[in-house]
Amino acid sequence: MIISQSFHFDKIAMIFERFSPSKNLFSLLNQQVRSFARDPFPNKLTHYLHRAKLIDSIRLALRSNSPNSLNPLLQTRLLDSFVVANAFRSAPSADSAISFFENLKQVPNFAHSQNTIFAFATVLAKFKRKVELKALIGDAKDGKFNNVKASFMNLLFWYSTAGDLQKVLETWEEYRNEENRLSTEAHNIVMGLYAKKDMNFEAVEAFRGMIDQGVIPNSRTYTILIEHLVRLGKLDAAMEVFTVLPSMRIKRTLKQFLILVEGFVGGERFDVVKSLLKEMREDGKLPGRAMRIYLERMKEAGFAGETDEFLVEMLPDGRIKSVGSCEDSSDEDEDEDGDDDVNEGVDVHTVKLKPWLDPKALANALKQWSPEVVTILEDAKFVWTSRLVCKVLRNFTSPETAWNFFCWVASQPGFSHDIYTVQRMMTLLARHGNVELVDKLINKVRREQMILPFSTIRLLVEFYGISKNADAALKVFRNDRTLCGHISRFNLMLLYSSLLRALTKCRRNTDALDILDEMILNGICPDIQTFSGLIYHFALQGDIKTVQQLFSMIRQSGMEPDAYMFKLLIQAYCKCQRAALAYRVFVDMRNSNLMPDAATKDLLVKSLWQEGRRKEAVIVEERYEETDGVLPLALRGHVWTVSSEDLTRVYSIYSNSVIAPA
């Protein structure tokens, strides 16, 4: 068989030799295959650095007066979709991006990818080039870019960025017909565009529709609300929404802090800004440079003590050199630090351009940590700052590589770890269950008398729950929470709640109930979300006695179970084949003048039928008919995090502030 195969291949080779213009065709093909199979770079970091140099050269060329400066850069074998996509993102104008796109048509063997088309379309949308954007989307739909597809979310994003409300709404309707339930981000896009266009009633209705459909708002949702309120001059309402976020376990973002600081500095309400800066420290936020101008105004108003610490962190780092100069720049948001490479042969003038750097790509290039990679990294002469180190650490997927990098960077000239880099490393290690290294960093914090942000202590407890390290979570709660200084009663309630959730994830039921008793004895009352999470956990395990005890605790605390808690209990009992108990919960719910949503009612009826309880199933359907066949599409809330009361409160604040009374 082997001989016949060999003869077969020899025969094919003879045929090729007879008809080929070159007698050495096979030899040439073999050489080419070997050439393309070999990686031209010894490691990913070297590849990253060469790509970075090429991207910087293209960025300068896109800003150059010389029309031919771009062409030589497109002939290199380094040109790939990664380089092109990042070059598009750095384009200073729509015209430069269009010119770049046209030049790429002349590059042999280059094919656009999903990333390059997305980046180009985003630039066109950003500069409101609706005609060119429409043409590009049409080409993508017609298959002119091979397998590149434009998803509904892509279209919503591009049209909203371009400010094209009509196209956004058309896409929204088409999307709704295709999907049973739209994503949070889809709702955010529509609501955000209404808010930007000052279509206040429509923005409020979009938010109401979102929560009525059971879609849980995220941090970006509340950023839209806060920004809208501040733009309308409703500063107190914006601050009220912002204050509710910790209760809903929503992460407060740096952008939210920036919007509020800008608004209150503009209104010269510096006492509120002082409070915001204090909360930034508690949340462990490293302020962005965009906040600098507002803090300088505050300092001029006589608040130097409150602002100096942050202002020092925002000063430009003189060690970071520019890659060159150019006439125009739209890279104000590119505050990344990196290595420098001055491009020769490009027409340069006045505006400095920082080196291109992508922390995610850099972290990916450092995956294969080795002495060779370390040498190359040192030779690259990166300027390491707390901000850059935090961004790189955030993008590591391996705790081992992250730790190697963390230890290595500590010895680099001009850099020393601070509380921001230490907390970033700690939370990454805790998520992966590396208790020993977290303890080592905690000892460093204690030894150097650093103050940990309260948010870091909570994250450690929560991540130990995810990595199933209940004892480590208890140790942080018992021994290490003092590292963040004084903890308010509200924050202590949040910390207890995080610990209870971690213990239930680890199936440490006895410990969870002991902690709950301790919490109440210390005068810290759990919120309704915490009770909901505990009730759902014990109901799933069929622990009826504990569920009943928890219900008694709720009423003793002066609270009443809400509709969402009843829903969770019905779902849990149905999942563990206890439909009779679920029916009893339904009866209690109706006696409280509450009704489940449609999906929960259907689940209950189905479970009752499956367990042979037809009479009860008929009663549930009859009660449903008493409501004229109308049930809410979804109930507001989410287990452990968001209560119906908080969502209703935020909606009330937003609607009452945005929609002026008639």
Residue 38 CA neighbour count, 13 Å, CB half: 8
Distance separating alpha carbons of residues 12 and 15, to the nearest angstrom: 5
d(CA 75, CA 314) in angstroms, rounded, equals: 40
Q: Which amino acid is at 269?
A: R
Tokens of 353: 């351009």
Tell me the β-bridge partners of 326. 351
Q: Which residue has the higher pLDDT, 285 or 469?
A: 469
Q: Is the alpha carbon torsion for 621, 624, 625, 630 positive or negative?
A: negative
Instruction: Say which residue the tokens 């001009």 belong to.
Output: 414
The pLDDT of residue 322 is 59
Instruction: List, for residues 541-589, the tens digit of each pLDDT value.
Output: 888 899 989 988 998 888 888 889 899 999 999 988 899 999 999 999 9
Instruction: Please say if the pLDDT value at position 18 is more than 70.
Output: no
Angle at 436 between CA 431 and CA 438, to 5 degrees: 50
Q: Is 562 left (phi over 0), alpha (psi -120 to 50) or beta?
A: beta
Across residues 252-256, what is the average pLDDT?
95
User: In angstroms, rounded to a whole number, what is the distance separating the alpha carbons of residues 324 and 342?
Assistant: 6
pTM of the model: 0.85
Under DSSP, the state recorded for 18 is H
What band does 28 get if pLDDT is binned at 50, 70 and 90? very low
DSSP 301: T
Contact (CB, 8 A) for 623 and 588 = no
Reported as a single tens digit per residue, the pLDDT across 296-340 is 888 888 777 667 666 666 655 556 555 554 433 333 333 333 333
Instruction: Give yes or no for residue 4 having a pLDDT over 60.
Output: no
Q: How far apart are CA 125 and CA 139, in angstroms?
A: 16
> Which whole-number Å values give the CA distances from 487 to 106, 461, 528, in the listed order?
63, 15, 21
Delineate the domains of the chain, giving CATH numbers in brackets.
Answer: 20-149 (no CATH), 550-640 (1.25.40.10)
Q: According to the model, what pLDDT value does residue 319 have?
A: 63
- Burial classification of residue 344, based on how many CB atoms lie within 10 Å of its CB (0-12 exposed, 13-18 middle, 19 or more buried): exposed
Q: What's the maximum distance between 2 C-alpha atoms anywhere in the chain? A: 95
Which residue bears the tokens 């009479």?
Answer: 615
Angle at CA of residue 88, ends 87 and 91, nearest 5°: 90
pLDDT at 626: 76
Residue 120 in this model has a pLDDT that exceeds 80: yes
Closest CA to 424 of 446, 377, 448, 392: 392
pLDDT of 352 strictly over 70? no
Q: How far is Cα 502 from Cα 507, in angstroms, rounded to an integer?
A: 9
Distance in angstroms (rounded) separating the CA atoms of residues 630 and 586: 17
pLDDT at 660: 67
Nearest alpha-carbon partner for 278 in 481, 443, 486? 486
Model confidence band, residue 637 (pLDDT cutoffs 50, 70, 90): confident
Report the percent of the chain where pLDDT is more than 90.
66
Burial of 329 (0-12, 13-18, 19+ CB in 10 A): middle
Evaluate if residue 269 carries a pLDDT over 60.
yes
> pLDDT tens-digit profile of 189-241?
999 999 999 999 999 999 999 999 889 999 999 999 999 999 999 999 999 99
- Phi and psi (nearest 5°) for 628? 65, 25
CA 640 – CA 527 distance, rounded (Å):
9
Cβ contact 565:636 at 8 Å: no
pLDDT tens digits, one per residue of 148-187? 999 999 999 999 999 999 999 999 999 988 877 789 999 9
- The least confident of 25-39, 201-215, 497-511 is 25-39
Indicate if the alpha-carbon torsion angle 609, 611, 612, 613 is positive or negative.
negative
**428 vs 590: CA distance, rounded Å:** 46
